[in-house]
Homo-oligomer: A and B are copies of this chain.
Amino acid sequence: MLKNWNTAEIPSKEEIKSRLDKSRNRLYELQMKIKEHKLPVLVLFEGWGASGKGSTIGKVIKNIDPRFFKVATMSAPTEEELRKPFLYRYMKQIPESGKFTFLDSGWMDETVHNRLQDNLSDEDYDKRIDSIKRFERQLTDNGYLVVKFFMHIDREEQEKRIQKLLKEKDTKWRVSSFDKWQNEHYKKCYKVFDRYLNDTNLPTSPWYLIDSKDSKWAELQVLEILVSGIEVALQNSAHSVPILQNIFPLVKMPKLADVPLEGKELTDEEYKKELDELQDKLKDLHNRLYRKRVPVIITYEGWDAAGKGGNIKRITEALDPRGFEVHPIASPEPHEKARHYLWRFWTRLPKDGHIAIFDRTWYGRVMVERLEGFCSENDWKRAYNEMNEFEKELSDWGAIIIKFWVQIDKDTQLQRFTDRQNNPEKRWKITDEDWRNREKWDLYEEAIDEMLQKTSTTYAPWHILESVDKKYARIKALKIIIKELEKVLN
């Protein structure tokens, strides 16, 4: 891209001034429309060191009410961030609907830095590009406006600026060692930057190259492109996008109706004995994965009253409380609902070496959200692939992913509901909504079957826990977890 790009001639000072006034006013007006239309706007500033990313952001935000934007400066990842997947700290920063996030460098900077200085292999680079394209596509598919700027200056200009910054005590700190390295290896960087820009120039989130020699002219280009992007995005209402083919390896799953439940039971003695042994084993494994820094994600979905809570309890009893977290997932809070539906899960990921247990999960998208119409048909049909992609990121990061479906039959559920209703101590556990969901059992079963078929990948397969006898289900869960951990730890 860079090498084919032709910078426009810089307009006269008067013209720049008058166009700046116009686009500043326009941006000011548009912020209210963005709010009205609930449009989330992610603006990424990438470019050469000392090209003026930060100061340009500073000028742009002057036209926006501080309640409507956030600026995030993404320097090198912290110790903590390095213990999460690559995309974690970027996903964390995506704006709520109706608001802006401005990123002062982002996933491009980190990637080209890795490529140039840490010798990211060709294979890892390609993988990274795939991740990034998926990330951006998921955002735009889900209604985000993603505007990407690359601020360009030539070698001489960069050198001049770096020297100027270094001269003053107050500005010296702003020159990073990577900035200096870039200037010394300008040609090499140019090639890597150009390739990255080419590789990630999607029709739905195209690159805009900014000639940054003159700071006012740079500001004008950025403002005009930003305004145009917002105007286009505001013209659109809900848009459906192609449903992508699954390309991930799948494990064949039975239909729920074909899962035998009879005889899957344990006596109290068997249970007690196995439980003690398995919990001891798990405790030991937990220590080892902590030392080996393997992240583990265990997810629970299942019918109401299937016994998820008790099952989770038997797992956590065996774990060191400093090394795990349980995330009960209810309906999303307003600030969660205002973002990509996977955001609240991305932000709850464990550090490596830790275990995160999700009591209900992102699969709500293709169950309750699908059936209650909380999202569009295109949304939930697209979600199978989005979730496979999400879990692929986690798996590539090194995570062990164990997904449980806790299965009971309709009669068992009725019996447990009635028990709860009749038992004052358990009554809090049963709500009208549970009864309403029960009426839609068949529709749910159809949706669950489709989910199990489409999202049981080899790297994140579903496991069915037969839970008419809760003891049986608990022991089975422990055994599966132990087996999966041992696979990786041994």
A235 within 8 A of B: yes
* Residues in chain B near residue A236, CB distance under 8 A: 239-240
Distance of A277 Cα from B377 Cα, bound (Å): 70
* Residues in chain B near residue A250, CB distance under 8 A: 6, 8-9
Known: A141-B203, A202-B203, A378-B232. A6 touches B243 (CB 8 A): no
Flag if B206 contacts A204 (CB, 8 Å). no
* Residues in chain B near residue A247, CB distance under 8 A: 1, 4-6, 209
A229-264 vs B, Cβ < 8 Å mask (1 yes, 0 no): 100110110011111111111101000000000000
* Residues in chain B near residue A207, CB distance under 8 A: 245
A125-143 vs B, Cβ < 8 Å mask (1 yes, 0 no): 0000000000001001100
Known: A208-B245, A245-B209, A249-B6. A140 touches B203 (CB 8 A): yes
Flag if A242 contacts B204 (CB, 8 Å). yes
Q: In chain B, what residue has the closest Cβ to A202?
A: B203
A418 within 8 A of B: no
Q: In chain B, what residue has the closest Cβ to A126?
A: B198
Which of A206, A248, A377, A381: most chain B CB closer than 10 A? A206
* Residues in chain B near residue A248, CB distance under 8 A: 6
A:343-387 near B, CB below 8 Å:
377-378, 381
* Residues in chain B near residue A228, CB distance under 8 A: 243, 381
Please provide the 4 A-B residue pairs with the shortest distance between their CB atoms, ordered closest to farther: A6-B249, A235-B240, A232-B240, A137-B203
Known A204-B242, A207-B245, A239-B239; further 17 A-B contacts with Cβ < 8 A: A1-B247, A6-B247, A6-B248, A6-B249, A8-B250, A137-B203, A141-B203, A202-B203, A203-B241, A204-B204, A205-B242, A206-B244, A229-B242, A232-B243, A235-B377, A235-B378, A236-B240
